[in-house]
Amino acid sequence: MIRFNKVFFLFISISVFLVVATVSPQKSFATELKKFSCYEDMDSFIKKNITVYNQFNWLLYSSYRGGGGGGGGYFGDNFSITNIQVEGIDEADIVKNDGEYLYIATGQEVAIVKASPAERAKVLAKIVFNGQIQGLYINKNKLVVFGEERIAQTGERFSVKIFDVNNKEKPVLMKSIAVRGYYNNYYDYSRMIGDYVYFIVDDYVFNYNDPQRKIKLPEIIENGNSKTIPANEIWHFAYYDFPERYKIIVSINTQDKQQKMSYLPFLANNAQDIFVSAGSIYLTNPKTINKALCVEKFLHDLSEILPSEIYTAVNKLSKQKNNEDLAKQEEILRKYINNLNDAEFKVLEEKITDLIRKLEKEKGQEIQKATIHKLSIDKGNIGYNSYGEVKGRVLNRVSMDEYEGFFRVATTSTRGLLGQSITRNNIYVFNESMRIAGKLEGLAPTEKIYSARFMGNRMYLVTFRQIDPLFVVDLKNPYQPKVLGELKIPGYSNYLHPYDESHLIGVGKEVTPGSQRPGGVKVALFDVSNPKEPREISQAILEEGSDSEALREHKAFLFSKKRNLLVLPINLWRYADEDVFVFDISLDKGITVRGKIKHLGVKRFHYIGNVLYTISDNLIKMSDLTGSKEINKLGL
């Protein structure tokens, strides 16, 4: 009885898939992107896919198994802007600078500050937002404020408000948009191109407070008018893993009060980093496995180790509608298993276990991949284009780029089993249809990517384990990427920023040779004019234990080549200090500390003319560009 239950329980779990495996088991789902026909169609699709997900994971992990941006951060000559990745594509931030005024988001308020001249700086107005502000844009005297609102009845919703700030002392609400759901601030799911702002909003398919788990439809609100997006406007792929979220791409015209928002809703799960070019949005996420296909393959293999009549019984288990028919199939299996001698039973058990392990191995290889979805955007219009796959994981948005019609991406992949895994790094180049045109795989075994930067037809890649290799990769021929040169130095760079066409700035950590423990913050200047022999030509290393938000957030990095200026926030743990370090950086003099500004809780910094503004939640400090002379300060 025990051994029957053991194997029979496995057969039951396998047979369940024969019901749910009818969820469109195509190998390619991008070409199968389509809309639902109605709510019932969507309800059935989601519930079948969730059943596949749950049963598949149980099969693998049940107890049966036993043992086992080139944009910069400055604008022209007079004032700085947000440090962006792609020129002409703005990124949201908590502080915006238009050369005369600063727009500063703190908690649930936006302060509009007359910043220049610094000696007469003052707060002109404050805008109160019903929730936590997550970002700002400024465009032609239109201020875009967005964040999360908590609504008593409906819970969380993402809200965008556009204000006319021609009169800075009396901002006027021009347009209001809301989407039920939330905005992923970590991955910075918005961009502004021309007059249009694009947002990506996530919303759960289920209300988890509802015991019946009824599927809810997305909801949008425009200027007070609410609309539920019907199921026949929602896109989905031919199969999905665990479709618990909607992903809603929204575009808003910041200038035209009358133009309505555009949106593209589709079923998706955990998208991660995004890259945005002038005409495309690229969304990355860990690859979703077509579990129905996996099960079909498993059942095909199972048919080769079972007698045909027994396999037929397993197959029929999934199709029984009543207990009487189910009992008949159980009896067939029971007789077969009980008639096996111990040696035969052991062989059967081992074969089934081997099949499950094989399935798990194949699953492991697939989940080491990432899927990249390409969406087309044009003057507010949004459409799905295509998708591609890569080995490994994408580090962040700076590891992606689009150039002359080709999309380039760097990844870190892992091979081997747990405890014996080996990391490798890869570069992939996709054509406009998201088919791989060229690739370079297996770079720097045992190391992983810490930073990357694309500059025209070259890429600069930093990996790390004990030393910091800086790779120079030639992408001039997108079909044959190749390494041109390599520099190995202690430490690593978390962020690479172009100084000019043949020099790079790296910000990271110093590491003592022979030790993996990071030391202090390191700022380096690299000469890559000879790509075969890149050189570090200058460095500044701060005290051990120092840290900088710029290692994790590129918007906390301010650079002006014309002013020989580099500004970073630095935490000195020994003294519990938070300082703004002002560096002098040039090719002839290298990198030196120009000055320091003590500013507790500093979040951002900008310059207007020759004044440096350092900004925290409650204070603006105004100093000269050396950081040594305070000009003024203003409470928020």
Average pLDDT, the chain: 83
Residues 153 and 34 in one domain: no
Using pLDDT thresholds of 50, 70 and 90, give the confidence band for residue 75.
very low
Residues 114 and 167 in one domain: yes
Question: Torsion angle, CA of 324/330/334/337, rounded to 10 degrees?
Answer: 160
Q: How far apart are CA 541 and CA 591, in angstroms?
A: 10
Within 13 A of 80's CA, how many CA atoms are on the CB side? 30
What 3 state SS string does 33-45 have?
Answer: CEECCCHHHHHHH
Boundary-marking domain end, from 285, 312, 336: 285
When mean pLDDT is compared over 37-46, 355-364, 610-619, the highest value belongs to 610-619
User: Does residue 74 form part of some domain?
Assistant: no
Question: 188 φ, ψ to 5°?
Answer: 55, 65
Boundary-marking domain end, from 538, 559, 579: 538
Using pLDDT thresholds of 50, 70 and 90, give the confidence band for residue 6.
low
Per the structure, the count of domains in the chain is: 4
Residues 251 and 160 in one domain: yes
Question: 454 φ, ψ to 5°?
Answer: -95, 130
Reference 353, options 3, 68, 65; nearest CA is: 65
The helix, strand and coil proportions of the chain, stated in percent and rounded to the nearest 5, come to: 20, 45, 35
SS3 (DSSP) at 545: coil
Share of the chain above pLDDT 70, in %: 78
- Say if residue 634's pLDDT is above 50: yes
Q: How far apart are CA 73 and CA 507, in angstroms?
A: 15
Q: What is the CATH number of the domain that holds 618?
A: 2.40.10.480
Q: What is the CATH number of the domain that holds 443?
A: 2.130.10.10
User: Does residue 55 form part of some domain?
Assistant: yes
Residues 581 and 498 in one domain: no
SS3 (DSSP) at 15: helix
User: Does residue 501 form part of some domain?
Assistant: yes
Share of the chain above pLDDT 90, in %: 55
Within 13 A of 586's CA, how many CA atoms are on the CB side? 7
SS3 (DSSP) at 298: helix
Quote the pTM value.
Answer: 0.83
Q: What is the pLDDT of residue 25?
A: 39
User: Does residue 626 form part of some domain?
Assistant: yes
Reference 96, options 110, 82, 77; nearest CA is: 82
The vertex-166 CA angle with 161 and 167, nearest 5°, equals: 100
Residues 148 and 217 in one domain: yes
Residues 430 and 506 in one domain: yes
User: Does residue 374 form part of some domain?
Assistant: no
In this structure, what token pair is assigned to residue 193? 């191109």
Structural domain containing residue 461: 392-538
Residues 170 and 23 in one domain: no
Residues 184 and 239 in one domain: yes
User: Does residue 115 form part of some domain?
Assistant: yes
- Say if residue 26's pLDDT is above 50: no
User: Does residue 378 form part of some domain?
Assistant: no
Residues 281 and 326 in one domain: no
Question: 324 φ, ψ to 5°?
Answer: -65, -45
Using pLDDT thresholds of 50, 70 and 90, give the confidence band for residue 396.
confident
Q: How far apart are CA 403 and CA 395, in angstroms?
A: 19
Using pLDDT thresholds of 50, 70 and 90, give the confidence band for residue 423.
confident
Q: What is the pLDDT of residue 264?
A: 94
Q: How far apart are CA 334 and CA 175, in angstroms?
A: 68
Using pLDDT thresholds of 50, 70 and 90, give the confidence band for residue 426.
very high
pLDDT tens digits for range 339-353: 878 788 788 777 777
Residues 320 and 396 in one domain: no
Q: How far apart are CA 64 and CA 355, in angstroms?
A: 13
SS3 (DSSP) at 347: helix
User: Does residue 77 form part of some domain?
Assistant: no
Residues 114 and 141 in one domain: yes
In this structure, what token pair is assigned to residue 493? 């760079």
| Residue 498, preceding peptide bond in cis (omega within 30° of 0) | no
The vertex-313 CA angle with 21 and 353, nearest 5°, equals: 70
Residue 426: alpha-carbon gap to chain centroid? 18
With a CB cutoff of 8 Å and minimum separation 6, the contacts of 247 are: 200, 201, 202, 265, 266, 267, 268, 271, 283
The residue-averaged pLDDT of 407-413 equals: 94
Boundary-marking domain end, from 477, 510, 538: 538
Q: What is the pLDDT of residue 289?
A: 60
With a CB cutoff of 8 Å and minimum separation 6, the contacts of 349 are: 6, 7
Residues 264 and 201 in one domain: yes
